[in-house]
Amino acid sequence: MLNPQHMRVSLRKGLLSANLWSGGLVHHQRVLYSTRRLPVTLLNNQPGLGKAGEVVYVKPGHMRNVLYPKGMADYVLRYNGPRNRQAESEAAAIRAREEAIKSGVLDPSVQPELYMLLKSQADAIQTITHIEFIRTTVKANDDTIFGSISPEDVLAVLRDQYQVELDKGSIEMPRIKTLGEHKCKVIIPHMGEFALHVVVKAPLVEPVKQ
């Protein structure tokens, strides 16, 4: 039969060994976490890390708190599933923003979220060849239309037909009062000015059947 005193000593030794092993495991896990690195793609040159476009390894906290919020780096996607086109678009916009700041055409105070919005508006406007309005004329064989077409009308068409939401002051044009092709100016802050064609047509009149 085992001596109770020996059992107590053995139990204390077992608990001590378990505590040491547990403490060592926790310490090991902390070391692993503290030394873990994430692969990221640099969006601009970073002294001490690398050049724009390079994949480097950084601490998760540094990426989460510094590099990503400031548009300095993007996460590397490891999966082989469908492409994350939104993430790719955002990364491209961030790179374009950094280049615009570097070249002096963009105010650094413009945050990435605002820049992406403005750039998407500018890209959309450049894909629109023209917008159309159908208006009746005051008299036959006369190009003068009833009423007029205002900047608000142009904004409504861009919003409803092309999902481009612009501020009221973004459109510069006189009121259009005749049929034909006209030009207006679209101003997007920090992006520039863009020409937009406005075509005003009379409604089609079907020939009278005899």
Domain count, the chain: 2
Q: pLDDT over 90 for what percent of the chain?
A: 36
Whether 98 and 130 map to the same domain: the answer is: no
CATH code assigned at 95: 3.40.5.10
Of 73, 88, 109, the last residue of a domain is: 109
Structural domain harbouring 60: 38-109
Handedness of CA 150, 154, 160, 161 (dihedral sign): positive
Output the domain CATH number for residue 137. Answer: 3.10.430.100
Nearest-5° angle of CA 176, CA 119, CA 55?
165
Q: What is the mean pLDDT of residues 137-166?
A: 94
> Cα(35)–Cα(178) distance, rounded to whole angstroms?
71
Q: What is the pTM of this model?
A: 0.56
Confidence of residue 32 (pLDDT cuts 50, 70, 90): very low
pLDDT at position 30: 42
* Residue 121 CB coordination number (10 Å): 21
Considering only residues 189 and 3, tell me which one the structure prediction assigns the higher pLDDT: 189
For 191, other C-beta atoms within 10 Å of its C-beta total 20
pLDDT tens for each residue of 61-102: 888 888 988 888 888 765 445 555 666 667 777 778 888 888
Same domain, 127 and 183: yes
Residue 116 lies in a domain: no
